[in-house]
Structure 1
Amino acid sequence: MSKKEAPNYKMEPKLRKTFYIPSLNGIRALAFILVYLSHVGLGHIIPGGFGVTVFFFLSGYLITTLLRMEYEKTSSISLKHFYLRRTYRIFPPMYITLLVGVLFSIVGLSSKEFDTAGLIAQMLHFTNYYLILVGSDGLVPSTSIYWSLAIEEHFYLVFPLALLSLIKGKSYKTIATALTFLCVLVLVWRCILVLGFDISHNYTYHASDTRLDSLIFGCILGLWGNPMLEKNSFLDQQGSTLKMSVIILTCCGAILFCFLFRNEVFRETFRYSIQGIALLPLFYYAIKQSHWKIFSILEYAPIKWIGILSYTLYLSHLLALSLAGSILWDNPSPILKACIAFLIALLFSVVMYKFVEKPFARLRKRLHDS
């Protein structure tokens, strides 16, 4: 796309200097809460996997929005700056938490041990395929959640480069259409694996090649109908508040159907696609119409604070549950264990935010931001 075509996707003036989406921290918090409740023993009724899908979608939307803003401002995308931002933001909490898991295992706070191959796989962002090929036994105890980080890192090795190659000659809508076609291909690939080769849940749930569409759906929203960068999206043209409410309810119903319909073939093929499509309008209205009462919880102070800490909470919550289990050796109360583990993870995340995440953010700005 030439710079002259960019005004079709006008950015709100205030976003040219600063970029903050209040409801996103609330969405992060709710996604983490789903994951956490699932892992404390409520997985049979709480869809923790959907929380991960929401994280994927949010990541795709946010990264694409930032890249698009950079292009509209500079007529280019700096791959160097993109990967530096990822390095400063993602790697310090990830590797520190992994080190804590290693220390837990060494001092005997975990009943499981890890091996060198598992640790290297996690350090090099191949946790997901290690889980598929070997299992969780060789991984650092209570850090198997790193599989989802591996998917994101695999995707972001390729996506910015692909976007840079397309954005200079194509419209946002054309790129979004191409990404939609890619989502269809991923769905077809899952169907081939499940129906043609009887591939199990372990692969379709954890593999980058079967889950990348959850990120791509977020990228599509970042490019076409972006609620922060476009004043007149097609979703704003649906008519009255009543019609928009019907869209929201329909999307919620589609997601609920994915929770309740337990057919294994459906769950490992169409489930992720339906959830991704349903999240498009839900994210749009949660951001654009954040003043609606239905979305007001996303901006409650405690929810926002959990959202700010959600990355480290996500990384550390299984370790916290393991430590809480050691503390409560003679008291197996799952509720008490869940509460103590949450407090441990919260304290760890606050410390990481203050002494690791914020200093590294300042360091990046000082060394690399112009």
Structure 2
Amino acid sequence: MTRRPALDGLRAFAVLAVMAFHTSPAAHGGFLGVDVFFVVSGFLITALLLREHERTGRVDLRQFYVRRALRLLPPLLFMLAVTLPVVLTIMHGDMRINPVVSLLSVVFYVANWANVFVNVGTGIWTHTWSLSIEEQFYLIWPLVLIWVLARRRRSPAVGLAVVIAVVVVTRWVSAGSGESPLWVYYATTSHCDGLLLGALLAVLLEKRESLVRSPRISEAVAWVGALGLAGLFATSYIEASGTYHWRLPLAALFSAMVVHHLATCAQGPMVRLLSLKPFVVVGTVSYGLYLYHFPVFMTVQSRGYSHLVQHVLEITLSVALTVFSWFLVERPALRLKDRLPKITAPVVLPAPAGGVGEQPV
């Protein structure tokens, strides 16, 4: 699959929705932008793994994890370095867990479980819960996918569909049984369905160009998904029980409908809209925006400024940190990532049933 600028445009809308949610009560459904990110990430990571396997007959796990680390860790560590003095001083009272423990939970990508543990979030690093779920997915899913591909007996599609159903039902039962909403929202076991649905979409598209018969049908399905997301954003509240029962899985489903079209069609009204340069630029730096905006927003909001001053400072500081990070932290790391060799040693896999030995994938 070639690079699709429209997917960056979709990321732009997702991150802007999340940012609006963190500063304006009117954007009460913006938290669903995270689920859009989950679907896009699950799809792209799985598509990359499948493409490597098809091209080379193997998947280089070591290089996969090195590339992930070079893409994700430098800006995360920069964010922690910038915000740690704030955590230790003016925002110290906002922490509900030892700052060192919280810092380690972010670095080792278990911040979502730290949020579950304290049951109120972890101050200005609370937002890293979603990064933790993604990284846990990146750690486990490639191993599972490689194992399935090595056996060559069946597609992982059926297994993925079953696991998605289990996650959705688990979340529904947990929400209905009086479990803490933070557990239901932050726990990997109850909020990874978007990532899995994106992975399922990539698996279904592995051997076919599209899941529908024509680009016009794909376009129509995508607009239904986009309008569905807009409706959810306008009517959802993170505290409502309906959010956990059906709104989160619907947000993932609608996102997958849009991602399917953007990944399979190179033209059309939605593709042209989301490929506009301002959207692509914002989507390209969306990781940095997500990382830096929350600490900035929480710190500025704690100072008691007027709404106008608050919003000006929130946007100005978030954009400044994002731009600084992109040019001085992220792009150098990406250049290093691009210089890595394309293929290294094959991955050693468990022997398929009926045989003994190693199988490169």
Name the TM tier (shorter chain). 0.7 to 0.9
Which of 73, 84, 94 matches 1:91? 73
Cα deviation, residue 350, structure 1: 1.5
Between the two proteins, the alignment pairs up a number of residues equal to 339
- Number of the residue aligned with 1:132: 116
Residue 273 (1) aligns with residue 249 (2): yes
Assess if the C-alpha contact under 8 Å between 1:61 and 1:220 holds in 2: yes
| Contact kept? 2:20, 2:27, Cα under 8 Å | no
Which residue is equivalent to 2:147? 165
Determine if the alignment matches structure 1 residue 219 to structure 2 residue 190: no
TM-score w.r.t. the length of structure 1 is 0.83
Q: Deviations over 1:111-168 (max 9, x none)?
A: 645532222222221211111111456x3x4221000011111111110000000123
Amino acid at match of 2:245: T
Match in the other structure for 2:259: 283
1:1-370 → structure 2 map (5 Å cutoff): 19-42=2-25, 44-108=26-90, 112=94, 115-136=99-120, 139=122, 141-170=123-152, 174-195=155-176, 197-225=177-205, 230-231=208-209, 233-235=210-212, 237=213, 241=216, 243-252=217-226, 254-255=228-229, 258-259=232-233, 260=235, 264-322=240-298, 324-325=300-301, 331-333=305-307, 335-369=308-342
2:181 and 2:192 map into 1 onto residues whose CA distance is 16
Shift of 1:29: 0.8
Kept after mapping to 2: 8 A contact 1:110/1:322: no
Query: What code does the residue aligned with 1:99 have?
Result: A
User: 2:242 aligns to what SS in structure 1?
Assistant: helix
For 2:36 and 2:226, the matched residues in 1 are separated by 13
Alignment gaps of 5+ in structure 2: 344-361
- Residue 360 to residue 369, structure 1, CA distance change in 2 (3 Å): farther
Aligned residue identity for 1:21: R
Flag the 1:230–1:321 CA change in 2: closer, same or farther, 3 A: same
The separation in 2 between residues aligned to 1:280 and 1:115, in whole angstroms, is 37
Q: Aligned equivalents of 1:314 and 1:24: distance in 2?
A: 16
Match of 1:8 in 2: none
* TM-score (norm. length: structure 2): 0.85
Looking at structure 2, the residues matched to 127 and 167 of structure 1 have their Cα atoms a distance apart, in angstroms, of: 31
Structure 2: distance between partners of 1:255 and 1:350 = 29
SS in structure 1 at match of 2:334: helix
Aligned-partner Cα distance in 2 for 1:136–1:201: 10
Stretch of structure 1 that moved more, 19-28 or 79-88: 19-28
Per mean C-alpha deviation after superposition, the further-off stretch among 88-97 and 127-136 is: 127-136
Q: Which amino acid aligns with 1:352?
A: S
Residue identity over aligned pairs, in percent, reads 24
Secondary structure of 2:306's match?
A: coil
Q: Letter of the aligned partner of 1:251 in structure 2?
A: G
The CA RMSD over aligned residues, in Å, is 2.6
Counterparts of 2:116 and 2:304, CA distance in 1: 35
2:14–2:33: 8 Å Cα contact kept in structure 1?
Answer: yes
Cα offset, 1:295, TM superposition = 3.6
- Following TM superposition, by how much is the alpha carbon of 1:176 offset from its aligned partner in structure 2, in angstroms? 1.6
**1:290-332 deviations in Å (ceiling 9; x for gaps):** 5322342311212111111110110000222245457xx5741
Secondary structure of the 1:303 match is: helix
* Structure 1: unaligned runs, 5 residues or longer: 1-14
Q: Aligned partners of 2:136, 2:49: CA distance in 1, in Å?
A: 17
Task: Show the counterpart of 1:5.
Answer: none
User: Matches of 1:249 and 1:46 in 2, distance apart?
Assistant: 22
1:331-368 C-alpha deviation (Å, 9 max, x unpaired): 412x4422332222112112111111121122234355
Aligned pair in 2 of structure 1 residues 276, 323: CA closer, same or farther (>3 Å)? closer
Counterpart contact for 2:21–2:30, Cα < 8 Å: yes
Q: Deviations over 1:166-196 (max 9, x none)?
A: 1233478x3122211110111121123223x
Distance 1:297 1:246, change over 3 A: closer
Greater alpha carbon shift after TM alignment, 214-223 vs 286-295: 286-295
